[in-house]
Amino acid sequence: MEKHYVTFLSPGTFVAEDNVEEIDSWDVNKAVERAKSITQRYNARPYAFYFTTRSRGEDEFEPKQAARSATYYLPHCKVETVEDVRIRNDPKEEILLRNMENNGFNKIVTTTEGWKWTQPFREGDVLLSKNVEEST
């Protein structure tokens, strides 16, 4: 038995809020459309989502995660490198820069609308363009 899910991520107080929904398939376009109608605490809107597939055998009671997609960041996010942050030399970003350097984060992703949220942009993550087919 297999089921597919999409997990939407929204800015939270200390950690991201998540909203998990069962879906028919890993359809990026449908997830982007669904994200537009989700509101979390304090009216926070999703900045990203990822898909999972859970399965269980006939003799298993609890399903296990069988697969997980990349994290897809919605178009109202931007990706920056550690060099971008260094060059900007903003005193307000001193801790961000140190965290990036000390933890080996070469890229970050930050929301550009709504609540500001910054986190590492990892290899395999995808920044969606306004036209999903053009995403990189």
User: In this predicted structure, what is the pLDDT of residue 6?
Assistant: 98
pLDDT digits (tens, 9 = 90+) for 69-125: 999 999 999 999 999 999 999 999 999 999 999 999 999 999 999 889 999 999 999
Tell me which residue of 19, 23, 16 sits closest to 8, measured CA to CA.
19
First to last CA, the chain: 32
Model pTM score: 0.89
Band of pLDDT at residue 136, cut at 50, 70 and 90: very low
